[in-house]
Structure 1
Amino acid sequence: MRILFFFAFLFIGTISFSQTKKDTTNVNHLEEVVLSSIRVPKNKEVLPTQIETINLKQIEFQNFQNTADLLSNSGTLAVQKSQQGGGSPTIRGFEASRVLLLVDGIRMNNLIFRSGHLQNVITVDENLLENVDVFYGPTSTLFGSDALGGTINMTTKRAKILSEKTPIISGTVSTRYSSVNEEKSGHFDFNYAKENWASLTSFSYNDFGDLRMGEKKNHNGDFFGERPFYVETINETDVLVENSDKYTQKQSGFKQYNFMQKFAYKSQKGFEHDLNFQFSNSTDIPRYDRLTDASTSGLKNAEWFYGPQKRLLAIYSLTKQKVFLNSDLKVDFAYQNIEESRHNRRFGNYNLQNRTEKVNMYSISVDLHKEFSKSDLFYGVESYLENLNSSAFSNNINTGEIKKIDTRYPNGKNNMLRNDLYVSYNSKFSKKNNFNIGARAGYTILNSTISDDSFFPLPFNDINQKNFTYSGTVGLVHKPSKNIDLKTNISTGFRVPNIDDLAKIFESGGGFVIVPNADLKPEKTITTDLGMVIKSNNKRFQIENTYYFTRFIDAIVTDDYLYNNQSTIIYNGSESQVLANQNKGRAFVTGFSTNIKGYLVSSLQYLANFNYTLGRITSEENRTPLDHIPPYYGKLGLNYTKKWGTIEAYVLYNGKKPIEDYFLNGEDNEQYAPKGGMPAWETYNLKTAFTILPKATLFVGIENILDTQYRVFASGINAPGRNIYGGLKYDF
């Protein structure tokens, strides 16, 4: 109710501001949004879709520990966590493999991106980011498969040459400490510029200790999620140890390293050559939720952790203006190498199971942009080749004995080839109307073989799929007046099943096992957006409302399944109920979002956003909840900015997720929620940045001021308690 009153207050304030037509030169205006994607016009206002941007100024001021926290604290999307070293963004009720992640325009999504929860976004260092664009709704026409709920395009900093008015030597050194997990982080970047070439070097180090949860009772629910015990192996024996501080989430800490090197060269003929090398690595990352699973012995698992998560990306880019048919050209050749591993051991069982996945991705994309007097044409082609090697073994931590075990994915050859072409046209065909239309067509081939099925015999030894894919979009922006934009858009999206969907054998916990299903078809969505933007003459406030309805066709859902006509099988020595990924007919996702921002007085800006999502699987008999649907959520805040610095106070809030709205035995993780579902919560936060020297900035803040104990929906770890942080940044 308090949130509704706040929105009403802002709306009334906005209406009153709309009567003010005078403008002065000594007041602040809302910044114009500039998009970083090469496949859309730079000006957000001409696009009929909902897009939110987090710029460099916001990234630096917010001073978050990783990219997942940066996204979740924006208030415009939800982020799930199964461990401290993770973060799985949800856009309009779609998550993981149904949300496309891009780094500098290159796909991160690969053939083992799962439908559950992913932590890959944290491998992109927030200190490297120049801009983050969040595209809402199906964006397969622009970016390809997996963009069912939306796309997150993360653009890193550029190597700048002297012609961009950059000093020969420039850079940044920064450091940060956070009390809630005793974080110790450091970062530097160094740019060396010459007249026609430049080099940018960047490195970051993060040391995160065990995360401390809030100690104060959430007024919306009871105490929940304390860590009274944990497991240690003492004298070759697993022992249940009492935690000296039940609010410290023991065995949740990790370290991470990030490196980036860029070179830029501009020839006399106008060709620009860019090399972009990124590498991210971590220590072992404990899977915290699995370490808290209860059993008759106290805890089910003695060890459960992800091995070092490695991400290597290398891109060679060639750009030239006015090349083919007078179009601007950009060609990207990219290589990615990703290594992930899972390691787990039951309490009292000293055989540690190790499963490793190594993915190689090769890609080429050609993007062209032709600009007319009142329109833009974007077109191009892209091709991705991916292969996977899946291996597994167990080792006895006491005797050293090594044995082969079943792999997570088929242990033969696994590869996937995607070939797409796209076109998008944006035109201002009248003073009040802007039109957008686009289409994409592609062909995907997937091959997977099982070279050894002795661990779990299957009725097939290989899976082969060929899918013709297509999508389209059409939208209109109508300006009935200078202060109002009306937007409508119809778009389709698709996601081709990958190795994780088709061929995974995976124990999901709680007596369930997921088995392969070779008959899956691509998922498809059709979405209608209706939006309205109201803004003042003096550019000092804006309200944006968006309503959407998505029809989800052939949705892949994990549900009960008969394997060889049996509903249960013996797996890992115990009887488990059989589940499998299946195309469960149709579902829908609908909702709306409201974003308000403006100035109450000069230099004092307010912001407020509210997001609501509803998802249901439909059948002739009934409607059942769709998973990954967060409760309502948003952010309210005030920001005061002067030359000497910035002060921001804000509230993050989430509604309750009742148990009857959970998709049981799926990815909503009802086993990690209190009885009755996840309670509502809100946190109060204060952040500051002060210019202490001409090129030095001091950052100080308090997050979760009331030290509230809470957990984000579908997460398996409690959120941070009161966090006092401090940081220092020096630019040279």
Structure 2
Amino acid sequence: MKRIFFLYILLFSFYSFSQTINDSIKTNTLEEVVVTSKKIPKSKKILPNQVESINNKQIEFQNFQTTAEMLANSGSLFVQKSQQGGGSPSIRGLEASRVLLLVDGFRMNNLIFRAGHLQNVITVDENMIENVDIFYGPTSTLFGSDALGGTVNITTKKAKFSNETNNKFSGRINTRYGNVNEEKSASLDLNYATENFASLTIFSYNDFGDLKMGKRKNPHADFFGERSLYIETINGVDQLVENNNKYVQKFSGYTQYNALQKIAYKTNSGYKHGINLQFSTTSNIPRYDRLTDVTATGLKNAEWYYGPQQRILTAYTIEKEKILFNSDLSISVGFQNIKESRHNRRFENYNLQHREENVNMYSFSSDFNRKFKKGELFYGFESYFETLKSSAYIQNINTGVTNGLDSRYPNGDNNMFRNDIYISYNEKTNEKTAWTVGGRFGYTTLKSTIADDTYFPLPFSEIQQGNFTYSGSLGIVHNTSKNVALKTNVSSGFRVPNIDDFGKIFESGGGFIIVPNENLAPEKTITGDVGIVVQSKNKRFKFENTYFYTRLYDMIVIDNFEYQGQNVINYNGSNSQVLANQNKGKAYITGISTNMKGYIIEDLQFNVSFNYTYGRIVEDQSESPLDHISPYFGKIGLRYDKKWGQFEGYILYNGKKSSKDYFSNGEDNIQYAPEGGMPAWETYNFKTSFNITKRATLFVGIENILDTQYRNFASGINAPGRNIYGGLKYSF
């Protein structure tokens, strides 16, 4: 808490100093945040809930390797990693299936999104992103199920017409190299523009080698996580091999391929048609944390990797202004296909297990927007139909002989069908006050059948559920003066249990097995936000602080369970304690989020962020830790910006996560933390860009300058050590 107090003193010291300097400066002002979602007003100033945005200019300059790294280094949210090829965003202590991911308005969350940790966000390459909006707190009223902790809304680049670009043909080439994992990345953009027709094509490629961790001792901890041994299969025999460089995290590298094609066409009658095609796939991605699990004789797993993670999006959109009741209309029809797989075998066991999932998502949405003299009305309908095919087999790596295996999910018919209507109204009553009210109502069905239970008999062969869902929100923004605004917002959220909640059989590590539980109800939350925004008269300084309190009901958590009357069973050759997803009554999460930015002197801007979260399960008048609650974290930075280039130096920091605050049966992964919990850490970073010609820009930077060795809370892989990178962008 002393650090928290010191940070607030630092914040207000910056405020006082910048106010004194800025009184005489009238040039550069802070950018106004513009939100890209079609379901809310564009200006952040009249929104009662907390929203942060990362624009294309910031994304391009920061030059991170993946979208997960970009989010993690923003200081706006927390990201967990189990392997290099991953990144699971956490907002206000909720993660994975309780945070909604959207790309161009389409849900990425599907019927197998798990409550643990996810890596789906990396399938949207950062070279294709125009803007990211981060909505904090329940946003189910706007976006539907799963938006309990918040929503990450990703908007990809659009095809530009001739009135939006100077050339009929335009584009750019981006290249980048980083030494911490011998990264080699490249992307190509091509835009074709006429008055009524536009086409955008993007290809990108990323090659990441094994990740090097920091070599220097973390001031807050001892050395931790070195890779001293690994397993190689030589002439068909597993062998323990000594790592000749313990700071290289062997078998963490992977490659990724991405493509985007957008076509836009405007008719003379005012209709705008759009086609959106996206494709992403990877090589096999080693599950690094599982490859480091130890036993009395060495390492537990000889192989553990995710197969190529493939995402396909095909969408058609039609838009028209002033078409129905004087409302603007946007209709979207989409199809997504997601393929995932898991492959693993134990040391000296030559039978490789393969579990494969194939998800199809069909969607339809109609969104309307009508402007009034003082307000704006948003309303519409959404429908998603999702199917899953889950299969598995086992194959001997030496003989090639295959046999059957229990699948991760039920191996029969699996589907979910969501149908929602929503309405939201925002009004600026006068110059001082604006308010927002909204509601969403829907019905979701789920069906899952077990065609063959030979490998893991269950007391039921089918699960069916139908759930009526609803949420609402009410918020007010009141400007007490031209420089101070007060915000308050009350909102509810919901998440309907999916196939992963109901039907998964999963070995969680550490001697635990998770079995299906058919008696699950939807999760629900209610959140209250109170915020203050202070902005200087010359718009060169801004301070924003938000306090929130979330009450969670019927939350699904993993806890002790019995399977056929037994609390310990033999699974995959080991005795494992039985766990299951269960609605465990009530819990709460509370915390604060502080952001401050402004100009100290002309062209020199500072930014500071601080986030603190506290969560507990309430049961039988006692409290216990809730999982996914990150330690406090944030960012402190200085940026110097001129037309010819930019410089930025910043500190990323995390507090300590004590072992007493871990949820032992959940996804906090205490087995991958040192004794006592995950230590605090901070890194020092420097980045710059230069316009070397009118068309060419050079990017150079050093991340983790001190080469500090550390690991993020709940992660199973050490963070990158010192990374010296260089990149070149050429526009044409």
Indicate the TM-score class for this superposition, using the shorter chain for normalisation: over 0.9
Task: Decide which moves more: 291-300 or 111-120.
Answer: 291-300
Bigger mean CA offset, 10-19 vs 59-68? 10-19
Task: Say yes or no: does 1:696 pair with 2:710.
Answer: no
Q: Structure 2: how far apart are the matches of 1:719 and 1:675?
A: 18
* Alignment map for 1:43-122 (pairs within 5 Å): 43-122=43-122
SS of residue in 2 equivalent to 1:341: strand
CA distance in 2, matches of 1:86, 1:703: 19
**Whole-angstrom distance in 2 between the partners of 1:644 and 1:363:** 45
- Are residue 470 (structure 1) and residue 474 (structure 2) matched? no
CA deviations over 1:412-438 (Å, ceiling 9, x no partner): 000000000000000011221101000
In the aligned structure 2, how far is the partner of 1:293 from the partner of 1:684?
Answer: 31
User: In the alignment, which residue of structure 2 is the partner of 1:217?
Assistant: 217
Q: Is the 8 A contact 2:21 2:601 kept in 1?
A: no
C-alpha separation in 1, matches of 2:5 and 2:550:
26
Given that 1:87 and 1:121 are in contact with CA atoms closer than 8 Å, whether structure 2 keeps it comes out as yes
Unmatched tracts of structure 2, length 5 or more:
none
RMSD (Å), alpha carbons: 1.1
Q: Aligned partners of 2:165, 2:359: CA distance in 1, in Å?
A: 40
User: Residues of 2 paired with 1:221 and 1:272: CA distance?
Assistant: 57
1:687 aligns with 2:687: yes
Corresponding letter in the other structure for 1:410: P
Q: Is the 8 A contact 1:163 1:196 kept in 2?
A: no
Report the equivalent of 2:293. Answer: 293
Shift of the alpha carbon at 1:276? 0.4
Give the Cα separation in 2 of the matches to 1:9 and 1:85: 36
Aligned to 2:273: 273
Q: Which amino acid aligns with 2:594?
A: T
Q: Deviations over 1:173-196 (max 9, x none)?
A: 010000000000000100001110
What residue number does 1:667 align with?
A: 667
Q: Which moved more, 1:12-21 or 1:569-578?
A: 12-21
2:728 and 2:22 map into 1 onto residues whose CA distance is 41
Query: Does the aligned pair in 2 maintain the 1:18–1:537 contact within 8 Å?
Result: no
Specify the alignment match of 1:307 in structure 2.
Answer: 307
- 2:451 corresponds to: 451
- Kindly indicate whether residue 331 of structure 2 is the aligned counterpart of residue 331 of structure 1: yes
Partners of 1:673 and 1:9 in 2: CA distance: 31
CA–CA distance in structure 2, aligned partners of residues 483 and 620 of structure 1: 47
1: CA distance between counterparts of 2:365 and 2:597?
37
CA distance in 1, matches of 2:127, 2:250: 27
| Equivalent residue number for residue 580 of structure 1 | 580
Q: Tell me the CA shift for residue 10 of structure 1.
A: 3.2
Number of the residue aligned with 2:163: 163
The answer as to whether partners of 2:22 and 2:600 remain within 8 angstroms in 1 is no
Aligned-residue offset at 1:149: 0.2
| Deviations 1:439-477, CA, capped at 9 Å, x for gaps | 000000000000000111111000000000000000000
Greater mean deviation of Cα atoms: 503-512 or 524-533:
503-512
> Secondary structure of 1:415's partner?
strand
Which residue identity does 1:220 align to in structure 2? H
Structure 1: tracts of 5 or more residues without a match: none
Q: CA deviation at 1:511?
A: 1.3
In the other structure, the counterpart of 1:231 is 231
Query: What residue is the counterpart of 2:132 in the other structure?
Result: 132
Residue correspondence of structure 1 range 414-429 to structure 2 within 5 A: 414-429=414-429
| 2:721 alignment partner AA | G
Give, in angstroms, the shift of residue 225 of structure 1.
0.1
Aligned residue identity for 2:122: I
Describe the SS at the equivalent of 2:726.
Answer: strand
Q: Which residue of 2 aligns with 1:192?
A: 192
Deviation at 1:20, TM superposition (A): 7.5
CA distance in 2, matches of 1:17, 1:134: 27
Give the distance between the partners of 1:21 and 1:647, measured in 2 at CA. Answer: 21
How far apart, in 2, do the equivalents of 1:12 and 1:652 lie? 20
- 2:233 is paired with a residue of what secondary structure? strand
Tell me how far 1:6 sits from its aligned partner: 4.9
1:218-264 per-residue CA deviation (whole Å, 9 max, x = no partner) reads: 01001000000100000110000000100000000000000000100
| Structure 2 residue aligned with 1:724 | 724
Q: Does 1:556 align with 2:553?
A: no
8 Å contact 1:627–1:668 — kept in the other structure? yes
1:412 aligns with 2:408: no
Q: What SS is found at the alignment partner of 1:693?
A: coil
Offset at 1:42?
Answer: 0.3
Matching residue of 1:10:
11
Q: Say whether residues 1:609 and 2:597 are aligned partners.
A: no
Q: Output the amino acid matched with 2:726.
A: G
Query: Aligned-pair distance for 1:163?
Result: 2.6
* 8 Å CA contact retained: 1:7, 1:608: no
Confirm or deny: 8 A CA contact 1:84 1:288 kept in the other structure: yes
Query: Could you tell me how far apart the structure 2 residues matched to 1:393 and 1:143 are?
Result: 37
Q: Give the counterpart letter for 1:72 in structure 2.
A: A
Equivalent pairs counted in the alignment come to 731
Q: Which amino acid aligns with 2:131?
A: N
CA contact (8 A) 2:327 2:368 kept: yes
Distance 1:451 1:138 in 2: 37
Partner Cα distance (1:81, 1:312) in 2: 23
Provide the residue aligned with 2:263 in structure 1.
Answer: 263
Is contact 2:420–2:441 with CA below 8 Å preserved after alignment?
yes
Alignment of 1:528-543 (within 5 A): 528-543=528-543
SS of equivalent to 2:667: coil
- Residues in 2 aligned to 1:19 and 1:721: alpha-carbon distance in whole angstroms: 39
Cα distance in 2 for residues equivalent to 1:301 and 1:14:
53
Q: What is the CA–CA distance in structure 1 between the aligned matches of 2:219 and 2:669, rounded to whole Å? A: 23
Distance (whole Å) between structure 2 residues aligned to residue 478 and residue 534 of structure 1: 12
Corresponding residue SS for 2:714: coil
1:316-715 mapped onto 2 (5 Å cutoff): 316-715=316-715
SS at match of 2:141: helix
Q: Is the 8 A contact 1:23 1:538 kept in 2?
A: no
- CA offset digits 1:114-142 (Å, max 9, x no partner): 00000000000000000000000000000
Cα shift at 1:17: 4.3
**Letter matched to residue 680 of structure 1:** A
Structure 1 residues 579-605: Cα deviation after superposition (integer angstroms, max 9, x where no partner): 000000000000001100000000000
Equivalent residue letter for 1:8: I
Q: Deviations over 1:547-573 (max 9, x none)?
A: 000000001000101122211112123
- AA aligned to 2:459 is P
1:19 deviates by 6.3
Give the superposition deviation at 1:363. 0.1
**What CA distance in whole angstroms lies between the structure 2 residues aligned with 1:610 and 1:679?**
18
Looking at structure 2, the residues matched to 2 and 190 of structure 1 have their Cα atoms a distance apart, in angstroms, of: 48
1:668/1:714 contact within 8 Å kept: yes
The residue type paired with residue 459 of structure 1 is: P
Change (3 A) 1:17 1:684: closer
Moved more, 48-57 or 560-569: 560-569
Secondary structure of the structure 2 residue equivalent to 1:14: helix
- How big is the shift at 1:21? 8.2
The answer (yes or no) to whether the contact 2:669–2:715 under 8 Å persists in 1 is yes
TM-score by length of 2: 0.99
3-state secondary structure, aligned to 2:429: strand
1:252 corresponds in structure 2 to 252
CA offsets 1:306-348 (integer angstroms, 9 cap, x no match): 0000000011000000011000000010000000000000000
Amino acid corresponding to residue 612 of structure 1 in structure 2: Y
Q: Please give the alpha-carbon distance, in whole angstroms, between the structure 1 residues aligned to 2:696 and 2:7.
A: 36
Alignment of 1:30-45 (within 5 A): 30-45=30-45
Q: Which amino acid aligns with 1:39?
A: K
CA contact (8 A) 2:22 2:601 kept: no
* TM-score, length basis structure 1: 0.99
3-state SS, counterpart of residue 663 of structure 2: coil
User: Contact conserved, 1:644 with 1:690, CA < 8 A, in 2?
Assistant: yes
Q: CA deviation at 1:5?
A: 3.6
Shift of 1:172: 1.0
AA at the equivalent of 2:10: F
How big is the shift at 1:15? 3.5
The code of the aligned residue for 1:149 comes to: G
Measure, in 1, the Cα distance between the counterparts of 2:617 and 2:3. Answer: 32
What is the alpha-carbon distance in structure 2 between the residues aligned to residue 198 and residue 648 of structure 1? 35
